[in-house]
Chain A
């Protein structure tokens, strides 16, 4: 897994609530057997019309906005457990997703792929979205060590929570398999003694 410490980038505002994983990557693209290439189809049915032409109304097609931070509406990533959604977002080039609420499974999948979910208050999210929409050149800084997200040059910042174990994993690029495999003896002992 890629390490994550800090990131300074412009951001793309996605003013939609309840973005489900079927929108992030529609089921018809789940036939691949590796993890690569899903970025081409991220938000496919919002980005493109059925005839394959780009939908100019969709924010990812708006050249005003760019960057590796996606700022999205409440309850991001709900629905299916498909990790393809996290793969599609990272493959497209995002390293951070900001929202006021994340669905559980998506959040876990993101953390397992070096994609940092930054959960902020609804008020802060609104401020951030307004700032980016009015000033697309705005630079956002995300610092995992200090658990802060801030707008560069302005007095707009917030603290975000992250499980301390997951934080260590992200900073060092470790994943859960490493940890679990190192604990096989403990797991085998549990199996030998389990009471249920």
Chain B
């Protein structure tokens, strides 16, 4: 029978099926961080259950870490305690931890692919909804709750009902300045925030085939923002080249064997999906969001739609925007380039390329937060740090930072932030903050101009 990429990976991981119930799905890699793991460790300890496969777990500290002075003790008592507990739990259970300051430390969805932990054809979970990022490699990767973190600790498995399948195909040529972030914001704006709920999404078409691994990660990262538990892209030569030679990637003959297997994974030509959508790349433009969910996005040159609906109006009221209004020329005081969506080297190259020779606007506070220590090192090595600093930008240390504002990187009440992160929920970047999601290019241009500009005019 013809199978999708998702079917092939899922079916090869089913340990058993409960009659009229879920399946036991085997999990190859489990990523953990400080915020969603402590209660799971506690639960196991209380029940006297050991961690079954510590060597299949990789830990990092990212959500709750400062982005300045990482070499010094963390000031916030609760944050410090949470990180100490992660270190203790990992030590006690023989789990590899890349703690704050380690050369491999970083946002879980940036550092794991970098290290070659993420590979095609595997199953991966993490107590974080953006685990969908790793689907860019043709892996089944999804976010789980803390009870499930405990289940994976205890059994290396989860009880799950197989999701339905969805395919989003984008073919054609992307316009100049349209980045992977714009592609996914466009898709979510078209389909809505719950269109993918109950589904696993495959992205297909030449637009994704032509993307770098980093671009594919940006796309898959935001699958959850349309409700899909995960997103996947078929592994190809781009994937194999990226994985080869990385720390935990298979080596030599083993790698060759794996590649031969990975080549069998793409969706069979006559495989059926439960739902399919097609988009034409030429209609996609740089995007911005105007509301309080990621589906509320428009092309940067468009105006806010006129929708009569209580939730829509509540959202606009929070953002202090009006129906029919354009965002062009809106003064912006905060810009954030970072998060598991857009904090990889290519994102900083795009930003630096725009910023080079220009100056940051005086009204703007701009935080550039690399996704990992390795990205940070590369920024310095490529001379981008100098470009940023010459233009008045501040390069911070790696972490989730202002994406969820658990640390001190908070946007003040009432302020707008043009952000390369993934969620524009109320208060997401700090109490009362107003988030406008965009690509690193739009974010960089906003920081230079001090307001949102129609970037398409500069590109064409």
Asked if B151 contacts A86 (CB within 8 A), the reply is: no
Asked if B154 contacts A101 (CB within 8 A), the reply is: no
Q: Which residue of B lies closest to A113 (CB)?
A: B147
A-B contact pairs, 5 of them (CB 8 A): A34-B42, A180-B159, A183-B16, A186-B24, A190-B26
- Residue A118 lies at the interface, judged by CB distance under 8 Å to chain B: no
Asked if A33 contacts B26 (CB within 8 A), the reply is: no
Chain A hits for B122, CB < 8 A: 196
Asked if A187 contacts B21 (CB within 8 A), the reply is: no
Which A residues form the contact surface with B (CB < 8 A)?
15-18, 20, 22-23, 26-28, 30-35, 45, 50, 73-75, 78-84, 86, 101-105, 108-109, 112-113, 163-166, 175-177, 179-181, 183-184, 186-187, 190-191, 194-196
- Residue B390 lies at the interface, judged by CB distance under 8 Å to chain A: no
- Residue B150 lies at the interface, judged by CB distance under 8 Å to chain A: yes
Give bound CA distance, A171 to B63, whole Å: 36
Q: How near does chain B come to A29, taking the closest CB pair, in angstroms?
A: 9
Chain B hits for A165, CB < 8 A: 18, 20-22, 159
Q: How near does chain B come to A166, taking the closest CB pair, in angstroms?
A: 8
What does DSSP make chain B's interface, helix, strand, loop or mixed?
A: loop
Chain B hits for A31, CB < 8 A: 35, 64, 76, 78-79, 81-82, 406
Asked if A26 contacts B431 (CB within 8 A), the reply is: yes
- Residue B238 lies at the interface, judged by CB distance under 8 Å to chain A: no
Report if A83-B145 is in contact (Cβ < 8 Å); known contacts: A33-B39, A165-B22, A177-B49: yes
Q: How near does chain B come to A121, taking the closest CB pair, in angstroms?
A: 15
Q: How near does chain A come to B397, taking the closest CB pair, in angstroms?
A: 19
Q: How near does chain A come to B227, taking the closest CB pair, in angstroms?
A: 6
Asked if A50 contacts B16 (CB within 8 A), the reply is: no
Give bound CA distance, A191 to B16, whole Å: 12
Chain B hits for A186, CB < 8 A: 15-16, 24
- Residue B197 lies at the interface, judged by CB distance under 8 Å to chain A: yes
Q: Which residue of B lies closest to A107 (CB)?
A: B197
Give bound CA distance, A27 to B425, whole Å: 11
Q: How near does chain A come to B93, taking the closest CB pair, in angstroms?
A: 15
Q: Which residue of A lies closest to B12 (CB)?
A: A196
Q: Which residue of B lies closest to A109 (CB)?
A: B145
The 4 closest A-B pairs by CB, nearest first: A165-B21, A180-B155, A31-B78, A112-B147
Q: Which residue of A lies closest to B262 (CB)?
A: A196
Asked if B12 contacts A81 (CB within 8 A), the reply is: no
Give bound CA distance, A181 to B154, whole Å: 7
Chain A hits for B406, CB < 8 A: 27-28, 30-31
Chain A hits for B38, CB < 8 A: 33-34
Chain B hits for A109, CB < 8 A: 145-147
Give bound CA distance, A34 to B43, whole Å: 9
Q: How near does chain B come to A20, taking the closest CB pair, in angstroms?
A: 5
- CB within 8 A of A187: which of B12, B26, B128, B229? B26
Q: How near does chain B come to A14, taking the closest CB pair, in angstroms?
A: 12
- CB within 8 A of A79: which of B36, B131, B158, B423? B423
- Residue B261 lies at the interface, judged by CB distance under 8 Å to chain A: yes
Chain A hits for B293, CB < 8 A: 18, 20, 78
Given A108-B148, A184-B52: 6 more A-B contacts, CB < 8 Å? A22-B427, A23-B427, A75-B197, A101-B197, A177-B155, A194-B26
- Residue B301 lies at the interface, judged by CB distance under 8 Å to chain A: no
Give bound CA distance, A15 to B227, whole Å: 20
Asked if B404 contacts A27 (CB within 8 A), the reply is: yes
Chain A hits for B121, CB < 8 A: 196
- CB within 8 A of B85: which of A33, A113, A187? A33
User: Which of B142-170 touch A at CB < 8 Å?
Assistant: 143-148, 150-151, 154-159, 161, 163
Interface centre among B26, B63, B148 (most CB of A within 10 A): B148
Give bound CA distance, A131 to B146, whole Å: 36
Report if A81-B145 is in contact (Cβ < 8 Å); known contacts: A45-B426, A45-B427, A187-B26: yes
Asked if A30 contacts B15 (CB within 8 A), the reply is: no
Asked if B127 contacts A81 (CB within 8 A), the reply is: yes
- Residue B207 lies at the interface, judged by CB distance under 8 Å to chain A: no
- CB within 8 A of B24: which of A35, A164, A187? A187
Chain B hits for A84, CB < 8 A: 146
Report if A177-B150 is in contact (Cβ < 8 Å); known contacts: A35-B39, A50-B432, A105-B129: yes
Asked if A81 contacts B193 (CB within 8 A), the reply is: no
Chain A hits for B145, CB < 8 A: 81-83, 86, 105, 108-109, 112
